[in-house]
Amino acid sequence: MMKAHLYSMLDRKAAATWPSQYNQPLDQWLLRATPNLTSRRANSVLTVGDYPAEDWLEIAKNFYGHHGLLPRFHISTASPQGLDEQLTQLGYIKEYETMLMVADCDTVLSRSPKENSLPFEFSMQQKADSYWTNAFMDIEQFEPHRTPAYQQMMQRIAGSTAFAAVQHPDTKEYAAIGTAVREGSWAGLINIATHSRFRRQGIAGHMIGKLAIWCQEQGADRLFLQVMANNEPAQRLYVRLGFDKAFDYHYRSAPN
């Protein structure tokens, strides 16, 4: 029971770090849509808790059809039993297998670099300005025309936020970016990304340590993050820093 409550709480906190433009509650579930983004997190039903009393599938079809999207469901350990199997039988396609990992702030701080021995400049700000957002779009290799939609999403985050950046001291090129969102005693780390030209130099580990300091100063003693199941280099880094897997999740998308 304790684990089930923890998984539900973490799923909801993770959703709050990536708030959608349109949200429609459906009992304990939440239908989310952001038509200008391709993000699955921003365009899926968060299926935490029991099945809704109403015809949830028809409601989801109507909601996403209204926004010009195909229905998609976020399936995790906190989802009701049998949901994944029902969607599989209906032809919904399994996508983007992901894991959510957790760690104590103290553990991460004890394992992250103690001094800035890297030849890079580290900065942190409360809001995502245009410079940070453009760096985010470049490092993630997202389509530039979607920049305003991502900027608006960052502005919708309700928790306390820190937007971190690592830059080359001479060229000022952005080498890495990351975000922390504090929600009570927990903080989520999102957008942890290193530019392809600057990987394997210890930059991400150093940045996560800096973000963990901020999280602890804000009153959070536990951290969570999400990582793709096939991103083994990132997983190895997070394990070295003290993160453990809490649970897996994936998406089920309606066929075209």
Q: Report which of 159, 154, 155, 158 is spatially closest to residue 220, judged by C-alpha positions.
A: 159
pLDDT at 113: 82
pLDDT at 248: 96
pLDDT at 17: 96
Task: Write 146-154 long-range contacts (CB < 8 A, 24+).
Answer: 146/36, 146/37, 146/38, 148/36, 149/21, 149/34, 149/36, 149/37, 150/37, 152/21, 153/18, 153/19, 153/20, 153/21, 153/34, 153/37, 153/42, 154/127, 154/128, 154/179
Low-confidence residues of the chain: pLDDT under 70: 1-2, 115-117
Asked whether 8 and 49 are in contact (CB, 8 A), the reply is: yes
Q: How far apart are CA 116 and CA 102, in angstroms?
A: 25
pLDDT at 205: 93
Q: How far apart are CA 99 and CA 186, in angstroms?
A: 17
Give per-residue pLDDT as tens, 163-184: 999 999 889 999 999 999 999 9
Token pair of 73 as six digits:
């469901």
pLDDT at 116: 63
pLDDT at 74: 98
Q: Global pTM?
A: 0.93
